[in-house]
Amino acid sequence: MPDKVEVDRELCKGCGLCVEFCPKHVMQLSDELNTIGHHPAELHDGETCTSCALCAEMCPEGGITVYRKRRKRRE
């Protein structure tokens, strides 16, 4: 099974909104840089993530995809 949260590292601008708004505090900014010089967000605790998708809703770049076990996100 893939990670519950997938961040498009090259779309991410490192704004930190997903980190700030995650109710479970399981997103963080990576120490690494993407090719445009930003620290991309990443999921650091997949077990605690509830797949609530708030991070994806907050992302101004549309760079986060959330996977759920039984339900698909509405397009």
Which residues of the shown chain bind ligand SF4 in the complex (CB under 6 A)? 5, 7, 12-18, 22, 24, 26-27, 41, 43, 49-55, 58-59, 61, 63-64, 66
Nearer to ligand SF4, 9 or 75 (CB): 9
Judged by beta carbon, residue 1 or residue 15, the one nearer ligand SF4 is: 15
In DSSP notation, 28-74 reads EE-SS--TTS---EEES-TTT-----HHHHH-TT--EEE--SS-PPP
C-beta of 58 vs 75, nearer to ligand SF4: 58
CB of 72 to ligand SF4, least distance (A): 14
How far apart CA 50 and CA 38 sit, in angstroms, is 26
